[in-house]
Chains A and B, each alone.
Chain A
Amino acid sequence: AQSVAQPEDQVNVAEGNPLTVKCTYSVSGNPYLFWYVQYPNRGLQFLLKYITGDNLVKGSYGFEAEFNKSQTSFHLKKPSALVSDSALYFCAVRDTPYTNAGKSTFGDGTTLTVKP
């Protein structure tokens, strides 16, 4: 079975400081990994994904994430946080075997608050 853990319910950072939102995963095969952001009363928006290749993935709005196979982690990062980055962030994983096709598992989310 596949699973995702986001160990922090909330992350608080000051504007201009770097931010990290943590994600660890468990799959039986090779993972497809995703980060999504959700603003109040809206659906999820895609930020970035790791399928294969370089471990450092760059995405929308200046976000990036680092895939670490040995630590089974896919932490979301941004060098300089903005107040407008404040939102709910979800990590998701898909296992690659076809028998699991389509089933994405999401973490419970991390609320990021960036203070001016």
Chain B
Amino acid sequence: DAGVTQSPTHLIKTRGQQVTLRCSPKSGHDTVSWYQQALGQGPQFIFQYYEEEERQRGNFPDRFSGHQFPNYSSELNVNALLLGDSALYLCASSLEDYNEQFFGPGTRLTVL
């Protein structure tokens, strides 16, 4: 049983560019959440998708957007990249809202 998978593993972009990160949830999970983890900090909640809709959003600008597909996989898009967007982006899936989340290995985004 595959766990949560994310692609790509690493990504280098320049300021102003756009990036798309991808996530496949653990088999059977229907809820996907995205987090940004800056160096030395805990994960910060970006948003959560359930039934292809954004259910909850953290304190992130509209440059951060997402999508969930019918197979429950998800994408995180970031437009107009800033240096401060450099971080590890984590995807987590769960079944039912109150259960534990299963995290992917993350995508390391570096903005130059």
Contacts and interface: CB of A to CB of B under 8 A. Distances in A.
Interface residues of A, number: 25
Given A100-B56, A103-B48, A108-B42, A46 B97 contact: no
Interface stretch (B13-21, B69-77, B78-86, B103-111): B103-111
A53 interface: no
Contact of A102 (B43, B48, B102, B105): B48
Nearest to B49: A102
B41 A109 contact: yes
Contact of B104 (A43, A103, A108): A43
A107 B48 CA distance: 19
A32 B94 CA distance: 14
B50 A102 contact: yes
A14 interface: no
Contacts of A94: 97-98
Contact of A43 (B90, B98, B100): B90
Q: Which 4 A-B pairs have the closest CB atoms?
A: A102-B48, A106-B42, A43-B103, A102-B56
Interface of A: 4, 32, 34, 36, 41-46, 49, 51, 90, 94, 96, 100-109
